[in-house]
């Protein structure tokens, strides 16, 4: 089944400059900005500029240049915000929701970079 991209989603509008954002990083193929409803002291969204619905869509159809740029952008954002999992940082959580079961709210691939505090378990332990 084909991926269906809605070019009227909020992130498409941000990428077109129709809606303002608080940019953290912009590269040739990616944009990172602060979430308007942060769930942690650090909460930044990183998205590719291409029309990709979710991570699997991106991984299957993006160019090598887009994939490299996006991956490096996530790493740069973590470094810029001090949430790397290296000796100097306490780490972070990266979340990319996909589809209905993943509770994806905006149908444009985006990774949440969350940090600045202990985030707790992502899911309760399996029983």
Decide: 47 and 111 in contact? Cβ < 8 Å. yes
pTM for the model: 0.92
- Give mean pLDDT, residues 93-112: 94
- Reported as a pLDDT band with limits 50, 70 and 90, residue 47 is very high
What pLDDT shows up at residue 48?
98
Point out the catalytic residue in the list 29, 43, 110, 112.
Answer: 110
Query: Is residue 120 predicted with pLDDT exceeding 80?
Result: yes
Burial annotation 34-65 (CB, 10 A radius, 16+ → b, else e): ebeeeebebbbbbbbbbbbbbbebbeeebeee
Residue 101 is a catalytic residue:
no
Q: Are 7 and 106 within 8 A, CB to CB?
A: no
Q: For residue range 49-82, list pLDDT tens digits in order.
A: 999 999 999 999 999 999 999 999 999 999 999 9
Residue 1 above 70 pLDDT? no
Reported as a single tens digit per residue, the pLDDT across 7-31 is 999 999 999 999 999 999 999 999 9
Average predicted confidence (pLDDT) for the chain: 94
Question: What is the percentage of the chain residues whose pLDDT exceeds 70?
Answer: 99
């Amino acid at each position: 089944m084909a991926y269906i991209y809605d070019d009227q989603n909020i992130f498409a509008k941000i990428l077109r400059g129709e809606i303002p954002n608080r940019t953290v990083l912009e590269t040739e193929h990616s944009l990172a900005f602060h979430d308007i409803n942060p769930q942690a002291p650090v909460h930044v969204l990183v998205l590719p500029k291409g029309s990709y619905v979710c991570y699997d869509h991106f991984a299957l159809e993006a160019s090598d240049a887009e994939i490299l740029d996006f991956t490096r952008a996530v790493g740069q954002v973590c470094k810029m915000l001090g949430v790397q999992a290296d000796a100097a940082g306490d780490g972070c959580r990266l979340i990319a929701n996909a589809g209905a079961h993943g509770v994806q709210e905006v149908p444009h691939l985006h990774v949440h970079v969350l940090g600045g505090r202990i985030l707790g378990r992502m899911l309760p332990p399996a029983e």
